[in-house]
Structure 1
Amino acid sequence: MDVMLEILKYIQSFSNKTLDTFFEIVTILGEDIFFIIVIGIFYWCFNKTFGYKLAFVYITSGAINTIIKEIVKLPRPIGYEGIKSIRVKTAGGYSFPSGHTQQSSSLFTTLMIEFKKKWLYFIGVLGMFLVGFSRMYLGVHWPIDVIGGLIIGILWTTIVTKVFAWSKDKDNPIIIGVLVIPMIICLLIFKTATYYKAVGTLIALWLGYIIEDKYIKYVTKAIWWKQINKFVIGFFGLILIKVYFKKLLPLNIYSDFLRYALMGIWMTVISPIIYRSLHIEEN
């Protein structure tokens, strides 16, 4: 721990207001709002199948991250003498592994596996490095958290993409249950808000995936102004549920589960039905 503490102190020895602002912006690449935007753009507007895959990778990776944190229970560097911690509101729960690093690794690895472009490999590796480094610079994670998040994110993404490919090859979305069902069982063990949010979204996403695939068969193709309308409607609905439903429900993990499940159903089932009824989905 002494070595890791000295590493953080060395990294922060270069700190200034400009770098503080830069790394606060960079760290957003590992946060929910960024992933919601990216997943929404793909799912609603360009590539429904890839949007599903990206969502499954992201959400299951978040659930795995919470499970590991609750098992390891490593305290964060926040409050240690000589460490300046910034943007601590994004640093809930335990320290290992870094959720921001793991989630950004999952995102960029999924993009690199899917599109296989040299320029994307460069951006992906750079993005993973910067997000991980930002967590240390901001004084909210140890170096081992970042390394662990990077490795786990890449390995877990590889597993999920193979399961998703298996599901598509068999044309059977129920196969995704091999990822979902164990996480449902773990609701009995890991009773934290973060985990309940992740699994609530995951269950809704899986059910939405099955329902949409069989009954709705949503088409992403549309003229540019319809694409903008789709994104605005879809994104507004998600934020409405995420922010304002919180004010209507009691503050507990079961309400968190319900709220995030509604977000999953909104994205996969309700919003495509709305697009079709408004004629902003092209057939």
Structure 2
Amino acid sequence: MDLQLRILMFLQSIRSPFLNIVFLIFTISTEAPVIVLVSALMYWCINKKYGQRMLFSIIGNFVINTGVKEFVKAIRPIGIPGLESMRVSTATGYSFPSGHTQTATSFWTSIMILARKSWVYVLGILMIVVVGVSRLYLGVHWPIDVAFGWIFGILFSVVFIRLFDYVDKYKNYWILVLLLIVFAIVGYFINSESYIEYFGILTGFVIGYIVEDKFINFSTDKRNRQAINFSRNSKNENRVSIIFKRFIIGIISLGVVYMLLKSAAYLIPKYFEVKNFEIYSVIVNYIRYSLVVFYAVAGVPLLFKVLNLDD
């Protein structure tokens, strides 16, 4: 612990207004709003299969990370005498392993596996390292938290992407259902509200993926076969227009669904008696997150079909 604290104190000693901004930007780059926007753009507009694989990897890592955190229950360095932690509002829950680091590692490992280009490897490794260091610089994680965030992020990203590829190729949907059952059993013993929320996200993805794959099957393939070069021609302008419309309609409608479900969860106790609000909150949040992600994965593509925005 002394060595870890010395590392944090050293990073605190080199802080400056410029470095504060730099590391804050890097740490924000892996938070929910950014991940949602980039993943949505990939899945809805650029490459459907890449988007599915990326989402499955990131969401799976969310669940693993939260499960380990709730099992280990390690305390963060926040509040240690002499250490001034920054941006603690986003440093919620337990410390081990670092969620930001594991998310960044999962995100960029997924991109590197999918892109397989040298410049993407360089950028991805740089982002993975810097995001992890940013958590130490801000004083919200111990070095061991970041180290295992890197390890788990790489390991489980490879596992989840390979698993998804196998399921998608042979249409063995039962494997994903079995995975949900395993995570549900783990959730029962962990008994954590935050774990249940992430499990709800995974549930929404799995059910949404199966429904979309079997009954909707929207496509981004045609647009991918013709690279967008931003030259002035009607075909290229039409492709750019479709991408723009898909993204805007998808994000706005997803936001509306999210707000409606959140409002419904808030209003139900006002009109119906809720005897145990803690249990109610857990159940409602699980359902709410499941439905939001299900809509993003299956509902939005169906909307594209209805609006004739499908390839």
C-alpha offsets along residues 152-182 of structure 1, whole Å, 9 cap, x if unaligned? 1101111111211211231333332343221
> What is the correspondence of 1:129-144 to structure 2 with a 5 Å cutoff?
129-144=129-144
Q: Is 1:245 aligned with 2:261?
A: yes
In structure 1, the residue matched to 2:18 is 18
Amino acid at match of 1:68: V
Residue 8 of structure 1 contacts residue 136 of structure 1 at CA under 8 Å; is this kept in 2? yes
- Considering only CA atoms, is the larger Rg found in Structure 1 or Structure 2? 2
Q: Is 1:233 aligned with 2:265?
A: no
Q: Could you say if the C-alpha distance between residues 14 and 243 of structure 1 is closer, same or farther in structure 2, counting changes exceeding 3 Å? A: farther
Deviates more, 1:166-175 or 1:262-271: 166-175
Deviates more, 1:13-22 or 1:140-149: 13-22
Amino acid at match of 2:247: F
Q: What is the aligned residue count?
A: 282
In structure 2, the residue matched to 1:261 is 290
C-alpha offsets along residues 247-283 of structure 1, whole Å, 9 cap, x if unaligned? 431482222212211221111121111111112222x
- In 1, the alpha carbon distance for the partners of 2:107 and 2:144 equals 20
Structure 1 residue 29, shift from structure 2 partner: 2.2
Amino acid at match of 1:15: R
- In 1, the alpha carbon distance for the partners of 2:22 and 2:44 equals 30
C-alpha offsets along residues 136-161 of structure 1, whole Å, 9 cap, x if unaligned? 11111011100010001101111111
Deviates more, 1:26-35 or 1:235-244: 235-244
Structure 1 residue 56, shift from structure 2 partner: 0.9
- In 1, the alpha carbon distance for the partners of 2:71 and 2:187 equals 14
- Alignment TM-score, normalising by the size of structure 1: 0.94
- In 2, the alpha carbon distance for the partners of 1:199 and 1:268 equals 16
Q: Could you say if the C-alpha distance between residues 255 and 17 of structure 1 is closer, same or farther in structure 2, counting changes exceeding 3 Å? A: farther
What's the % identity of the aligned pairs? 37
In structure 2, the residue matched to 1:280 is 309
Q: Is 1:224 aligned with 2:237?
A: no
Amino acid at match of 2:85: S
> What is the correspondence of 1:150-229 to structure 2 with a 5 Å cutoff?
150-220=150-220, 221=222, 223-229=239-245
C-alpha offsets along residues 221-269 of structure 1, whole Å, 9 cap, x if unaligned? 5521111111112122333344563343148222221221122111112
In structure 1, the residue matched to 2:232 is none
Secondary structure at 1:249 match in 2: helix
Residue 191 of structure 1 contacts residue 253 of structure 1 at CA under 8 Å; is this kept in 2? no
- In 1, the alpha carbon distance for the partners of 2:14 and 2:258 equals 37
C-alpha offsets along residues 103-143 of structure 1, whole Å, 9 cap, x if unaligned? 11011111111111000000000000111011111111011
The answer for unaligned runs of 5 or more in structure 1 is none
Structure 1 residue 4, shift from structure 2 partner: 0.8
Cα RMSD (Å) of the superposition? 1.6
Residue 241 of structure 1 contacts residue 259 of structure 1 at CA under 8 Å; is this kept in 2? no
Residue 61 of structure 2 contacts residue 106 of structure 2 at CA under 8 Å; is this kept in 1? yes
- In 2, the alpha carbon distance for the partners of 1:114 and 1:79 equals 40
Deviates more, 1:185-194 or 1:36-45: 185-194
- In 1, the alpha carbon distance for the partners of 2:10 and 2:300 equals 48
C-alpha offsets along residues 19-64 of structure 1, whole Å, 9 cap, x if unaligned? 1122111101221112111210111012111111111111110111
Residue 304 of structure 2 contacts residue 310 of structure 2 at CA under 8 Å; is this kept in 1? yes
Q: Could you say if the C-alpha distance between residues 195 and 240 of structure 1 is closer, same or farther in structure 2, counting changes exceeding 3 Å? A: farther
- In 2, the alpha carbon distance for the partners of 1:90 and 1:49 equals 31
C-alpha offsets along residues 53-76 of structure 1, whole Å, 9 cap, x if unaligned? 111111110111011111111100
In structure 2, the residue matched to 1:113 is 113
In structure 1, the residue matched to 2:269 is none
Amino acid at match of 2:305: R
- In 1, the alpha carbon distance for the partners of 2:79 and 2:260 equals 33
Residue 41 of structure 1 contacts residue 231 of structure 1 at CA under 8 Å; is this kept in 2? yes
Residue 59 of structure 1 contacts residue 202 of structure 1 at CA under 8 Å; is this kept in 2? yes
- In 1, the alpha carbon distance for the partners of 2:152 and 2:286 equals 25
Secondary structure at 2:153 match in 1: helix
> What is the correspondence of 1:87-126 to structure 2 with a 5 Å cutoff?
87-126=87-126
Structure 1 residue 8, shift from structure 2 partner: 0.2
